[in-house]
Structure 1
Amino acid sequence: MHFGSAAMMRVCDPMLPALARDFGVTTGQAASTISAYAIAYGLLQFFFGPAGDRWGKRRVIGFAALATVAGNLLALVAPTLEVLVLARVLSGAAAAGIIALVLAWIGDTVPYAERQVVLARFLTASLTGMMAGQWAAGVLTEHVGWRAVFALLVLLLGTGGTIIILDRALRSEGRAGGASRSHLRAIADVLSVPWARAMLAFVAVEGALAFGAVAFLPAFLAHSYGLSLSTAAAIVVLYGLGGLGYAFAARWLVPRLGETGVALAGGVALALAWTALALGTHWAMALPAAALAGLGFYSLHGLMQTHATQMVPALRGTAVSLFAATMFIGIASGVAVAGRVVDHLGYRPLFAACAGGLLVLALLFAWRLRARARAAAHTPS
């Protein structure tokens, strides 16, 4: 299920040149299909997180998947960019009830010492979905038309949601410990924890910088080097392959480098990758750069994600959903600002700014992790 949700998240990236052409708008304006999805996805986390704690995470996931069908059907027939943006809002709002609650369910069932590895496996499925979504969107947009992408999503998410809802195991799914709290009280309780507030700030900035850059990578490759949409989308798939590299290496990477080392390595990889894309003069540079950017991002984000599942264990659904909410609000803001930068300054200044910002973010996050580790070491057991 999270495979389909992850695929739906990134399908508009390789479509941007085609959407700009078909609707007579700029690439930055077409990117509103990405930012609108992210805004809706982020805001609805405030509902789905407490809902998962109250009514059962798997049950909410199933109904959320079915609800995405409405948005994708509207996108399939959208006559204008405004209608397509509305469709992406509906899709993003419904999809908010899937991935974050899957993460919270993992947090409920897997001990923290083993969670990094399990989340890396979860990341494998999510990344496969993103890569498949980006690649399929590029191919279908070029050879069939972008509407075919949304038809495929209707089939994929509708089938997955139906299977979950019909699962008999849902009848015995119990309520979590946070069931008695109201939505607002649950959110307030999470926000009262200082480390939770810090984590939310970190992930909001990470989402703005990382996705503000990667959302425009296919359009940059097509515009700057004359690559076809399917070729540009295939290159961007390397971003996901870099993430898979982290997922497979997480079992030995974290014990050897430590959490601080992983955060620093991720930030350095991101800075090098986006700097290379900003300064490169040949499209072939994008091949290693995209893979390195994916490795760096998922090293940093995977670590943040693991800490998010432990921010407030008693309200894990709410806490992880707030983490996702702030990330996607950051993504929406980042893509919106990035669109203006692209329209007025071009792609390369955007990539350079994101390179520097992500390095600073990683340094600050590593510093906070080290401070927490020292404080824990001096705390009596």
Structure 2
Amino acid sequence: MSTCIAAEASLDKTKPAWRAVYALALGVFGLIVAEFLPASLLTPMAASLNVSEGMAGQAVTATALIALVTGLLITPATKNIDRRWVLMFFSVLQILSSLLVAFAPSLNVLLVGRLLLGIAIGGFWSMSTATAMRLVPAAMVPKALAIIFSAVSIATVVAAPLGSYLGGLIGWRNVFILCAAPSVVALFWQLWVLPSMRPQSVGSFATLFKVLARPGMLGGMFATILIFSGHFAFFTYLRPFLETVAQTSVEGVSLILLGFGVANFIGTSVAGYLLSRNLHLTLALVPFVMSFLALLMVIFGHMVLLDALLVAMWGFAFGLVPVGWSTWLATTVPDEAESAGGLLVASIQLAISAGAAGGGLVFDLNGASGVFMGSGILLLSAMVIVFARVRVKPVAQ
């Protein structure tokens, strides 16, 4: 009966629904763990399915591509459905995806499971900002987004090492079965605490272009692409840089990456406070700081301890990025937050692909130091665009 009451209750924007926010955070934790698991289990997965590691790696590509498409299409496709049920459906998809992968007799079945995960990831991210805006008062949206993205940071830190460790103990298939557990808990928790959230606007595919045409939106999306491209170019080739330039051991690389993850979590946790003080300045200074860190890595990259500090500072700075741009969407297009969220998801997925691919070309020509220089240039350009072309409304106090 309580579930029915929660489902039918109208949202009271003066009272933050923190239980619902934490339920969503647990759901996204499960999604991100599932997304990153193949990176640590690729070798046993390939051997079990009798395919090359390159072919098994397409499990990651398939997820990213379908997430890009879903981010754009999920709002018009579900325009008449209560957001409560749509969000719970993403948890169901993650459970089905993990079980399909766990019991996959062939690569094709495994890819189907990963495609389901891509739908859930793209759909959730496109709706995350709009949902946070409906669960808490405007002044608390940055804090709510920080909680959700903190779950992402935790999942990013634990997924690869925990997956690799458990894979050696119980096998990769059982790891994916365990991966469904957070989403099972999240599903029942969401069923209990998520209020009914009727669609606020009847979006269509054409709405995406209308939102993009609004003042400042194109600049914001372009800045986002530059920032995420710069980050993923840097992060993708960080290990080769540490091993070749700094002569860091495998254990040293692992510790540095752990430092990145911890600092990223801290950055995400304090993002709400900083963004509420000055959103525009924070959005601009973060890519500037990251570009400066990339330059310092190029100059002093042979000093291992300094590298560890710089990478941790990078992790802290990047922790502000997803929360910052989601907050920007919440204040800039509050009436079309879902469509704008879809555009943001597509921009980020495009940036991930561009950053990794472009970084690879630069790496072959000029090594990891060249990649870091290119990353710094992209991030510096993003700062200029934020100051010149991005319009920002103050965060409600």
Specify the TM-score bucket, using the shorter chain as the normaliser: 0.7 to 0.9
- Between stretches 195-204 and 154-163, larger displacement belongs to 154-163
Specify the alignment match of 2:291 in structure 1: 271
* Number of residue pairs matched by the alignment: 363
Does structure 1 retain, via aligned residues, the 8 Å contact 2:221–2:344?
yes
Match of 1:160 among 166, 183, 186: 186
| Offset from partner CA, 1:285-322 (integer Å, 9 cap, x none) | 44222221122223344322211123332222222122
Q: Identify the match of residue 178 of structure 1 among 177, 180, 201.
A: 201
Structure-2 change in CA distance of 1:263 and 1:103 (3 Å)? closer
Q: How does 1:343-358 map to 2 (within 5 A)?
A: 346-358=367-379
1:253 matched residue in structure 2 = 274
State which of 110, 115, 121 in structure 2 corresponds to 1:95.
Answer: 121
Determine the C-alpha separation between the residues in 2 that align with 1:325 and 1:341: 24
- The 1:287–1:95 alpha-carbon spacing in structure 2 relative to 1, beyond 3 Å, is same
- Under a length normalisation based on structure 2, what TM-score does the superposition of the two structures give? 0.75
Q: Is contact 1:35–1:335 with CA below 8 Å preserved after alignment?
A: no
Cα pair distance change 1:82/1:6, threshold 3 Å: same
Alignment of 1:235-254 (within 5 A): 235-250=256-271, 252-254=273-275
CA–CA distance in structure 2, aligned partners of residues 30 and 11 of structure 1: 12
- 1:198 equivalent to 2:224? Answer no
Partners of 1:113 and 1:25 in 2: CA distance: 47
For residues 67 and 310 of structure 2, what CA distance do their matches in structure 1 show?
28
Provide the secondary structure at the position in 2 that maps to 1:152: helix
Q: Is the 8 A contact 1:137 1:149 kept in 2?
A: yes
- Kindly indicate whether residue 265 of structure 2 is the aligned counterpart of residue 225 of structure 1: no
1:123 aligns with one of 128, 149, 152: 149
SS of the aligned residue for 1:240 comes to helix
Contact 1:239 1:293 in 2 (8 A): yes
Gaps of 5+ in 1: none
Partner residue in 2 for 1:298: 319
User: 1:105: Cα distance to partner?
Assistant: 0.8
- Give the direction of change, closer, same or farther, for the CA distance of 1:119–1:94 in structure 2 (3 Å limit): closer
Verify the 8 A CA contact 1:66 1:162 in the aligned structure 2.
Answer: no
Matches of 2:380 and 2:169, distance apart in 1: 38
Aligned to 2:389: 368
Residue 294 of structure 1 aligns with an amino acid whose one-letter code is G
Match of 2:76 among 50, 69, 93: 50
Give me the whole-angstrom Cα distance separating, in 2, the residues matched to 1:167 and 1:117.
22
Q: Secondary structure at the match of 2:216?
A: helix
Q: Secondary structure at the match of 1:54?
A: coil
Q: Output the CA distance in 2 between the equivalents of 1:6 and 1:58.
A: 20
How far apart, in 1, do the equivalents of 2:239 and 2:101 lie?
21
RMSD: 3.7
Q: CA deviation at 1:104?
A: 1.4
Any idea what SS the aligned residue of 2:123 has?
Answer: coil
Name which of 308, 331, 338 aligns with 2:329.
308
Which of 356, 367, 373 is 1:335 aligned to? 356
Unaligned runs of 5+ in 2: 1-26
Q: Conserved in 1, the CA contact under 8 Å of 2:275 and 2:324? A: no
